[in-house]
Amino acid sequence: MRLLHTMLRVGDLQRSIDFYTQVMGMTLLRTSENPSQNYSLAFVGYGRNPDHAELELTYNHGVSSYDMGTAYGHLAIGVPDVAAACAKIRAAGGNVTREPGAVKGGTTVIAFITDPDGYKVELIQRDA
């Protein structure tokens, strides 16, 4: 078994595509329009399945926002330099909500950003 993708419901598909491609550096891999079922999809990622997991952005026609609920935590993305990634994300208009620093009770350097729909994304410093 392997993780193929994670799906997020978004309120504005193009806004989310722009965020994940222009701010987070992912590639738009494919899109799918399903007008008879009232939804559109976009898959983004740092590579394609099966080598990389993808992020599925789902826009349900006419729905502009969702309640986050209490179960969702965050996505996690490994980066070689969290501070540099935050600077690049901030310069591209992204929202850094937790500045780079050690995780509580540990030494791993992390930061958090928030996407346009309010989903949290953790950046974790990892060697390439």
Q: Which residues are catalytic?
A: 122
**CA-based angle 107:8:117, to the nearest 5?**
80
Q: Please give the backbone phi and psi of residue 108, each rounded to the nearest 5 degrees, phi first.
A: -65, 130
- Three-state DSSP at 49 gives coil
C-beta atoms surrounding 104 within 10 Å: 6
Quickly tell me which residue has 């780079």 as its tokens: 100
Q: What is the dihedral of CA 9, 13, 18, 23, to 10 degrees?
A: -10
Encoded amino acid at 75, one letter: L
